[in-house]
Amino acid sequence: MKIGFIETIKRVGKNLGATKEEKFRVLAKKTTIPNRRLKDDSSTHKRMPPIEQFRTYTKQILPQMEQSIEISMLQKQFQEIKSEELKQDLIRAYTRRRIKDLANQFSKLDDYKKQEDSMRHHDLPELNVYSFVPIGDHDFEDVGKYTMFPATDIQKYFLNNQMFGEYFEVEFYRTRKFGVMISEEGAKIVNHLQHIQDNKETPLNYINLFKRYPTEKIKEKIIEDEDVYPCLFHDLAKAAIEELEAYRNNTLFERLFCLPSLFDLTINVVLRELGENPNALLPLFLKQQEQIDNPQFTGKKVFNQLFEQIFKQINERAHPEFSNPQQYKQFLEDIQKFQISIKDCTEHEIDLIKYCKEPRWIPRNIKKYSLRKFIGFNSGALLYGDSGSGKSGTLLYVTMWAHYKKWIVLNVPSAFNWTQKEWKFVRHPKTGLYIQNELAQDWMKSFKHANSDLLKQIPVNMDIYGFYNLSGQHDKECDAVPDLYYKDRKVNFEEHKKFLTEEENIIDGETNKDFRVRLKEKLTNPLTVLDIIDYGLENEFFATNALYEVLEQIRNQDKFCVLKVIDGYNFMYKRSIYPSFRYATDTQLRSTVPPYHLTVPRAFLNFDGHKFKNGFVLCASSVKNFHKHIFGPDSIDFPLGYSHEMRGLPLDDFRVMCHYYLQNDFWLADNVAKNSSDFLWMHSQGNWAQAHKVMLGHQLDSM
């Protein structure tokens, strides 16, 4: 008989005739469904009161610890004694005392036997801890189980064992098995990724879609559908990405759309207006489908015309200084309306004020299968929480899912190693960025190792190739290091340049002539993205330039879906250890280079999943090496609705974890009783790191 959390849910759903939504509503609760077999056992075994547990600890555990310490001290003293007679006296004295102690325990042997029998009687039954379903077919019913991978996959996808968190050093090193628990958060994120992939492989046909339902049913049947709404959203987002390119050097747009919040809000408003006024916007989608089906059409499609007009109105009406991407309501009130006028299609005015009350609205059905208060299904998510809460494990599961589903994975195992450990660097004299060619080569080597089969299938788009210089600065982008004015000190960032002599400027220009060359001048006609990577690996001087060219191609290609994964994301916003006198003016940086001026972290730190045509960004914080071990999205002004706090495992999932670790000798204990695992869960609150600390000493189950 299969026993456990998931099987209980299946049994409950079957008996009650529950729908899929009702099953998941029960499954998603962070509570425990009592296991029937465990419930029967608990009727004969009462939980030991805390005072009794303390008494048992002092009588059994402490003597063993004292004996261990005593033996280690005797061994040390034994080695220091040179006289053989004194050594023999020491051995005889210790033997007499141990015999006396053992004699006092004979009277209590019966009690020990009863306790041992009781513990053995209440061992947990064998749980079904493994999911035998292929990772690409996992469903919410597999939550709480472990999915196993070949150990060779570690070397295949993680060069030099560079994995998230401490998985390789702690878990795999001891068990030699590559298993990952399917967490609730991981299953929900994968559900969003599956929508992205499904829309790419099987695009919607708008003509057939809107023929199914009458006009008055569009809002109910289409806009609020958990499968159709994300597909419509992704199609509009692709057109918006293309039209944003025209504003790449616009400082206002750089501030407004660097995060996905206002980008997603704009598309969300268009879709909600489709539900409210389908007669006005329906022709847009039908005309778009006609243009897609016509292979001879080469002009700008309807969706592109739509966002061309929307972005033009935003540029005219948004306040150039006070517009804030976090203030959704203020943004809508400033713009007030979108005037849409597309020839031979539609003319309509979208009133934005009516959407101010609920700017972060998403369909109710999407909320059921998503993280709590999460709206970033099209762009990305930030996982945060205590150390050991399962953040890195979720990253690992989602990453393996992406690899098995043939996604390109941009993997950053540790942002801490990028900003808090020193790599060779040199400052670019024109842009002011600090070039890290050695680190760029290190990442590209790992990236190629894990994705080479896909990268050689992506042709280079020459229309977007060659616009980056050696430091990763794009020709159409705003200045990477602007000359900021510090009001408190009444100086500019580039104040030191005023004190350079003419001779120093000449010497500086002559010394840095080499920085004027570009990758495109050396690699004029690469065929695939892999060619750019290979050139960067062979020529360290162009490594950073190659890295940025590769990322530009990956963002704009439509052949494969892309997942960007970063662990320790909070260290992208913490000052680095690289010293520089140029930042002495900034009181927060304290003469250190910020990560956004280091070329490699700068390429990854943006939360820019909305700028990938078929992409998603998944980040996780790391507080083990962080000040006071506390971090929250508010610390970096992260947008609301795109983060999720990880907490401990539910009790039933925790029991599965205990069994998995015991079966694979990660934790060494003879018997794990029900009261032991439950007490461990209460002690750790389902936190993996805290439970591991306890179990390493084998203290809990020796009681």
Token pair for 153: 């996959």
Mean pLDDT across 565-574:
94
pLDDT mean across residues, the chain? 83
- 181 appears as a binding residue in the annotation: yes
The listed range with the strongest mean pLDDT (83-87, 323-327, 469-473) is 469-473
Check if the beta carbon of residue 337 is closer than 8 Å to that of residue 350: yes
- pTM of the complete model: 0.80
Give the distance, in angstroms, between the CA of residue 159 and the centroid of all CA atoms in the same chain: 19
Mean pLDDT across 218-243:
90
- The count of C-alpha atoms lying within 13 angstroms of the C-alpha of 698, restricted to the half-sphere facing its C-beta, is 12
Residues 6+ apart with CB under 8 A from 6: 27, 128, 141, 142, 143, 144, 145
Whether residue 100 is predicted with pLDDT greater than 90 in this model: the reply is: no
Span 440-473, pLDDT tens digits: 999 999 999 999 999 999 999 999 999 999 999 9
Residue that wins the pLDDT comparison between 514 and 661: 661
Q: How confident is the model at residue 697 (pLDDT cuts 50, 70, 90)?
A: low
Q: How confident is the model at residue 170 (pLDDT cuts 50, 70, 90)?
A: confident
Residues 6+ apart with CB under 8 A from 263: 237, 240, 257, 379, 610
Q: How confident is the model at residue 28 (pLDDT cuts 50, 70, 90)?
A: very low
- Residue 179 three-state SS: strand
The answer for 382, left when phi > 0, alpha when psi is -120 to 50, beta otherwise, is beta
- 623 appears as a binding residue in the annotation: yes
Q: Cα separations (Å) of 472 from 469, 526, 559, 617, 618?
A: 5, 18, 24, 21, 23
Query: Can you tell me which residue has the tokens 């002690």?
Result: 683
What percent of the chain lies above the pLDDT cut of 90? 45
Token pair for 336: 């007030």
Using alpha carbons only, give the angle 478, 617, 535 rounded to the nearest 5 degrees. 65
Q: What dihedral angle (degrees, nearest 10) is formed by the CA atoms of 298, 299, 300, 302?
A: -90
Least confident of 123-127, 339-343, 653-657: 123-127
Per-residue pLDDT at 567: 95
Question: Within 10 Å of residue 128's Cβ, how many Cβ atoms?
Answer: 17
Span 282-320, pLDDT tens digits: 999 999 999 999 988 888 999 999 999 999 999 999 887
Per-residue pLDDT at 513: 78
Span 356-415, pLDDT tens digits: 888 888 888 888 889 988 999 999 999 999 988 999 999 999 999 999 999 999 999 999
Token pair for 347: 């003319």
Q: What is the maximum alpha-carbon separation in the chain? A: 109
Give the distance, in angstroms, between the CA of residue 493 and the centroid of all CA atoms in the same chain: 34
Per-residue pLDDT at 545: 97
Whether residue 46 is predicted with pLDDT greater than 90 in this model: the reply is: no
Q: Cα separations (Å) of 605 from 259, 326, 503, 595, 597?
A: 11, 18, 38, 8, 11
Question: Within 10 Å of residue 273's Cβ, how many Cβ atoms?
Answer: 22
- 108 appears as a binding residue in the annotation: no
- Residue 426 three-state SS: strand
What percent of the chain lies above the pLDDT cut of 70? 87
- 390 appears as a binding residue in the annotation: yes
Check if the beta carbon of residue 538 is closer than 8 Å to that of residue 432: no
Q: Residue 154 phi/psi, 5° resolution?
A: -65, -45
Q: How far apart are CA 329 and CA 157, in angstroms?
A: 43
Give the distance, in angstroms, between the CA of residue 329 and the centroid of all CA atoms in the same chain: 28
Per-residue pLDDT at 331: 87
Q: How confident is the model at residue 32 (pLDDT cuts 50, 70, 90)?
A: very low
Check if the beta carbon of residue 130 is closer than 8 Å to that of residue 146: yes
- 361 appears as a binding residue in the annotation: no
Q: How confident is the model at residue 339 (pLDDT cuts 50, 70, 90)?
A: very high
- 463 appears as a binding residue in the annotation: no
Per-residue pLDDT at 559: 93
Residue that wins the pLDDT comparison between 490 and 246: 246
Whether residue 19 is predicted with pLDDT greater than 60 in this model: the reply is: no
